Amino acid sequence: AAGMALGDYRIIRLAALLGLWWFIVPVYATVAHRMIPFFTASALPVLDAWRPNWLLWTLLALVGVQGCWLVVDELGWQGPVWMGLRAVVSSASGALVIGLAVRWGLVQSLRIRLLAMLHIGFVWLGLAFCLDAASVVMGAVGQVQLNLLPLHALTMGFLGSILLAMVTRVSCGHSGRTLTADNLAWGLFWGLQLAVVLRLLAIVWPAQSSWLLLGGATTWLLVMGSWSLRYGRWYGLPRVDGRPG
């Protein structure tokens, strides 16, 4: 509101990004910490649901720090010390998240489509951290910083994939259907991954950005539109197993 009143785009942009990193992403990270190891251990009893509370607080702290970098950017404190610290912290954050995905059973989950969707979605969070570190390093050596790479890896990759996977699972369960991703759900999930990749390529390949953006946007629209039509229709129908609800 202050940004709109003052006509200052920087305040509006910062507020939107802080809302992302300090509200939306923490919610998704908390859900991932709670549910991914639980779902994995339920489907693969050889794995334990490892999710200590300190790990959740560590994830939330790393996500919160990412928002702090945005404030530093807006204040113009992008000195070599800050950039070096950001690159180290973001790299470590990415390594932690990807290592955590492996600890939670990323490799084993690939045999079960619905689980794989959740794990792959979580990996995008780690890639977003790593891309942020790479963008900072590029800026430090005089190259153009690709700040939109980590942003789209986070929003389209992490948030989009987790949303599609989690709502697909919940929709199946609460409609009395088997907790599985059929060929359509599996194909839509990989269509979403294609949309993310096309969007990222549009950033690193500006000469072809128009076509890549069009391809990414069209793919995203088709995937999310088809997914919404399919699963949204279930909500107005009785459970297929005859149970109340």
Question: What pLDDT, in 10s, does the model give residues 95-127?
Answer: 999 999 999 999 999 999 999 999 999 999 999
H or E element in which residue 115 lies: helix 113-140
Question: What pLDDT, in 10s, does the model give residues 56-75?
Answer: 999 999 999 999 988 888 77
**Model confidence band, residue 138 (pLDDT cutoffs 50, 70, 90):** confident
State yes or no: pLDDT of 3 exceeds 90: no
Report the distance separating Cα 50 and Cα 112, nearest Å.
19
Q: Read off the pLDDT of each residue in 169-185 and give the average, rounded to a whole number.
A: 91
Q: Read off the pLDDT of each residue in 154-175 and give the average, rounded to a whole number.
A: 95
Q: Read off the pLDDT of each residue in 220-243 and give the average, rounded to a whole number.
A: 90
Contact 121, 162 (CB under 8 A): yes
State yes or no: pLDDT of 225 exceeds 80: yes
Question: What's the confidence (pLDDT) of residue 196?
Answer: 98
Contact 171, 202 (CB under 8 A): no
Report the distance separating Cα 235 and Cα 97, nearest Å.
34
Angle, CA 183 vertex, CA 177 and CA 184 arms, to 5°:
80
